[in-house]
Amino acid sequence: MHRAVPAAIAAVILSLQTVAFSQSRMPTTSTFISKADIQAVLRYTGSEGAATDRQMKVVGMGNYNVAVGVLHRGPTTPATVASGIGHSQVTEIYYVMSGSGTFISGVRVANRREQPADGEIVRIAVGPSFTGSFEGGETRQISAGDVVIIPAGVMHGFTEIKDEITYLSMRTDNDRVLPAGYVHPTLR
């Protein structure tokens, strides 16, 4: 009987470790997004019409998610009052594929408005987010080949795009607010 107790305790500990491991299990395969996939998503117009920000895939990585979206913006006029968006829980990394624009970022926000929780931008693309007007901020010209890292909570946007800009957004989601396993309808 004394041997059965340690064996039972060991079995319980082993089963708890198995549950904990399975909840934080990393994928066992790589995820690919081809150039053709990116172009297909950029051309996509679904029932909601064309959108600037299209999430392509969200991959569950155990204790966090990683997502990749593609964004395209056409020409804008110089903003008299610069506005932008910030993501409360998701960090973004932009890689500019083509074009250029004047990028602005900062943490001082006027007229802050939370984005609707049921909107596509919150549910699928970037999680809880807010918009507003910049109070100050740092501007920088970005163009093809540039990379920008935008921490969670930092508002960002463009004050001017002369022709167009297309960029990938890699998103780290430590709080798992994005839907792991999401695949854009064009890529299914």
* CATH number of residue 119's parent domain: 2.60.120.10
Per the CB < 8 A criterion, the answer to whether 69 and 183 are in contact is no
Neighbouring residues of 106: CB distance < 8 A, sequence distance ≥ 6: 134, 135, 136, 137, 138, 154, 155
* CA neighbor of 124 nearest in space, from 47, 82, 180, 175: 180
Report yes or no on 124 lying in a domain.
Answer: yes
Structural tokens at position 148: 């920008």
- Supply the DSSP symbol for 144: T
Per the CB < 8 A criterion, the answer to whether 103 and 77 are in contact is no
Report yes or no on 1 lying in a domain.
Answer: no
CA–CA dist 167, 72 (Å, integer): 7
What pLDDT does residue 36 have?
Answer: 97
Q: Residue 165 belongs to what H/E stretch? A: strand 165-173
Report yes or no on 4 lying in a domain.
Answer: no
CA–CA dist 28, 34 (Å, integer): 19
What pLDDT does residue 106 have?
Answer: 95
Report yes or no on 55 lying in a domain.
Answer: yes
What pLDDT does residue 26 have?
Answer: 82
Q: Which 3 state secondary structure label does DSSP give 43?
A: helix
What pLDDT does residue 18 have?
Answer: 45
CA–CA dist 86, 127 (Å, integer): 10
Residue with tokens 């740092």: 138
Report yes or no on 12 lying in a domain.
Answer: no
For the chain, 188 residues long, give each residue's pLDDT as a single digit of tens: 555 555 545 444 545 444 444 455 788 899 999 999 999 999 997 655 456 899 999 999 999 999 999 999 999 988 778 999 999 999 999 999 999 999 999 999 999 999 999 999 999 999 999 999 999 999 999 999 999 999 999 999 999 999 999 999 999 999 999 999 999 999 99
Structural tokens at position 28: 């066992």
Report yes or no on 177 lying in a domain.
Answer: yes
Which residue blocks in the chain are alpha helix, DSSP H? 4-23, 35-43, 120
Report yes or no on 5 lying in a domain.
Answer: no
Report yes or no on 90 lying in a domain.
Answer: yes
**Structural domains counted in the chain:** 1
- By DSSP bridging, strand 155-160 and strand 91-106 are antiparallel
Q: What share of the chain is helix, strand, coil (3-state, %, to 5)?
A: 20, 40, 40
- By DSSP bridging, strand 91-106 and strand 53-60 are unpaired
Range(s) of the domain holding residue 57: 27-187
